[in-house]
Amino acid sequence: MTDSKYHTPETGSLEGRSFRPATAEERAEAVERAFDFRGDVTIELRSGAVVEGYLFNREAHAPRPIVMIFPKDGGQLEIFYDDIASIAFTGKDTASGKSWEAWVTKKESQRRAETEAAEREARSRGHL
Protein backbone atom coordinates (compact mmCIF):
# COMPACT_ATOMS: atom_id res chain seq x y z
CA MET A 1 0.00 0.00 0.00
CA THR A 2 1.36 3.38 -0.94
CA ASP A 3 1.15 5.89 1.88
CA SER A 4 1.23 9.40 0.42
CA LYS A 5 2.68 10.80 3.68
CA TYR A 6 5.38 8.17 4.13
CA HIS A 7 7.91 10.92 4.74
CA THR A 8 6.28 12.09 7.98
CA PRO A 9 7.01 10.45 11.32
CA GLU A 10 4.46 7.98 12.68
CA THR A 11 2.32 9.69 15.30
CA GLY A 12 -0.01 6.83 16.08
CA SER A 13 -2.90 8.59 14.37
CA LEU A 14 -3.83 8.23 10.73
CA GLU A 15 -5.11 11.80 10.66
CA GLY A 16 -3.93 13.56 7.51
CA ARG A 17 -2.68 10.39 5.82
CA SER A 18 -3.86 8.93 2.54
CA PHE A 19 -3.68 5.41 1.13
CA ARG A 20 -3.90 4.33 -2.50
CA PRO A 21 -4.09 0.52 -2.27
CA ALA A 22 -2.55 -1.51 -5.07
CA THR A 23 -4.11 -4.88 -4.20
CA ALA A 24 -7.36 -6.23 -2.76
CA GLU A 25 -5.50 -7.09 0.46
CA GLU A 26 -4.16 -3.54 0.82
CA ARG A 27 -7.64 -2.17 0.11
CA ALA A 28 -9.12 -4.40 2.85
CA GLU A 29 -6.41 -3.21 5.27
CA ALA A 30 -7.10 0.45 4.42
CA VAL A 31 -10.84 -0.12 4.99
CA GLU A 32 -10.13 -1.69 8.40
CA ARG A 33 -8.00 1.31 9.35
CA ALA A 34 -10.75 3.67 8.17
CA PHE A 35 -13.32 1.71 10.18
CA ASP A 36 -11.19 2.09 13.34
CA PHE A 37 -10.56 5.80 12.66
CA ARG A 38 -12.74 8.12 14.76
CA GLY A 39 -13.00 10.88 12.19
CA ASP A 40 -14.19 11.53 8.67
CA VAL A 41 -12.52 9.95 5.68
CA THR A 42 -12.51 10.91 2.03
CA ILE A 43 -12.97 8.03 -0.37
CA GLU A 44 -12.03 8.52 -4.00
CA LEU A 45 -13.79 6.07 -6.28
CA ARG A 46 -12.34 4.57 -9.44
CA SER A 47 -14.99 6.57 -11.32
CA GLY A 48 -13.38 9.78 -10.04
CA ALA A 49 -16.26 10.58 -7.67
CA VAL A 50 -15.33 11.62 -4.13
CA VAL A 51 -17.28 10.85 -0.95
CA GLU A 52 -16.44 12.47 2.38
CA GLY A 53 -17.97 11.25 5.59
CA TYR A 54 -17.85 8.84 8.51
CA LEU A 55 -17.23 5.18 7.68
CA PHE A 56 -19.38 3.42 10.28
CA ASN A 57 -19.48 -0.20 9.09
CA ARG A 58 -18.14 -2.67 6.57
CA GLU A 59 -18.96 -6.15 5.38
CA ALA A 60 -15.55 -7.55 4.59
CA HIS A 61 -16.74 -11.13 4.11
CA ALA A 62 -19.69 -10.42 1.84
CA PRO A 63 -19.53 -11.99 -1.64
CA ARG A 64 -18.67 -8.47 -2.85
CA PRO A 65 -17.35 -6.57 0.23
CA ILE A 66 -18.83 -3.13 0.97
CA VAL A 67 -18.26 -0.17 3.27
CA MET A 68 -21.08 1.88 4.76
CA ILE A 69 -20.56 5.59 5.16
CA PHE A 70 -22.54 8.56 6.43
CA PRO A 71 -21.65 11.28 3.88
CA LYS A 72 -21.23 14.82 5.20
CA ASP A 73 -24.17 15.97 3.09
CA GLY A 74 -26.50 13.44 4.76
CA GLY A 75 -27.92 10.04 4.09
CA GLN A 76 -26.09 6.75 3.99
CA LEU A 77 -24.09 5.10 1.19
CA GLU A 78 -22.78 1.64 0.52
CA ILE A 79 -19.59 1.46 -1.54
CA PHE A 80 -18.04 -1.71 -2.93
CA TYR A 81 -14.43 -2.23 -1.87
CA ASP A 82 -13.36 -2.77 -5.47
CA ASP A 83 -14.74 0.67 -6.41
CA ILE A 84 -12.33 2.38 -3.96
CA ALA A 85 -9.26 4.03 -5.52
CA SER A 86 -8.00 5.75 -2.35
CA ILE A 87 -8.89 6.50 1.26
CA ALA A 88 -7.72 9.69 2.93
CA PHE A 89 -8.07 10.30 6.66
CA THR A 90 -9.20 13.90 6.35
CA GLY A 91 -11.21 14.47 9.53
CA LYS A 92 -10.00 15.14 13.04
CA ASP A 93 -9.21 11.90 14.85
CA THR A 94 -11.35 12.41 17.95
CA ALA A 95 -9.71 9.44 19.68
CA SER A 96 -6.11 10.52 19.07
CA GLY A 97 -4.12 10.58 22.28
CA LYS A 98 -6.99 9.12 24.24
CA SER A 99 -5.60 5.69 24.92
CA TRP A 100 -6.42 3.72 28.04
CA GLU A 101 -2.97 4.49 29.43
CA ALA A 102 -3.50 8.23 28.89
CA TRP A 103 -6.86 8.03 30.66
CA VAL A 104 -5.35 6.14 33.63
CA THR A 105 -2.52 8.67 33.91
CA LYS A 106 -4.98 11.57 33.83
CA LYS A 107 -7.22 9.96 36.48
CA GLU A 108 -4.25 9.22 38.76
CA SER A 109 -3.15 12.85 38.47
CA GLN A 110 -6.67 14.08 39.29
CA ARG A 111 -6.88 11.76 42.32
CA ARG A 112 -3.50 12.98 43.62
CA ALA A 113 -4.62 16.60 43.24
CA GLU A 114 -7.89 15.87 45.07
CA THR A 115 -6.03 14.07 47.87
CA GLU A 116 -3.57 16.95 48.25
CA ALA A 117 -6.41 19.49 48.33
CA ALA A 118 -8.27 17.47 50.96
CA GLU A 119 -5.09 17.18 53.04
CA ARG A 120 -4.46 20.96 52.83
CA GLU A 121 -8.03 21.64 53.91
CA ALA A 122 -7.79 19.16 56.80
CA ARG A 123 -4.50 20.75 57.96
CA SER A 124 -5.99 24.25 57.80
CA ARG A 125 -8.79 23.09 60.10
CA GLY A 126 -6.30 21.46 62.47
CA HIS A 127 -7.48 17.92 61.80
CA LEU A 128 -4.00 16.68 60.76
Distances (CA, A) of 127 to 53, 103, 115, 123: 58, 33, 15, 6
Q: pLDDT digits over 67-96, tens only?
A: 999 999 999 999 999 999 999 999 887 666
Q: pLDDT digits over 29-62, tens only?
A: 999 999 988 889 999 999 999 999 999 999 999 9
Q: Are residues 9 and 60 in the same domain?
A: yes
Amino acid (1-letter code) at residue 99: S
Query: Average pLDDT for residues 8-19, to the nearest whole number?
Result: 67
Give the CATH number of the domain where residue 35 resides: 2.30.30.100
Residue at 93 is within a domain: no
Query: Average pLDDT for residues 88-114, to the nearest whole number?
Result: 78
Q: Are residues 47 and 107 in the same domain?
A: no
Query: Residue 10: is its pLDDT beyond 60?
Result: no
Q: Are residues 70 and 121 in the same domain?
A: no
Distances (CA, A) of 82 to 5, 47, 71, 94, 106: 23, 11, 19, 28, 43
* Domains of the chain: total: 2
Residue at 122 is within a domain: yes
Domain of residue 77 covers 2-88
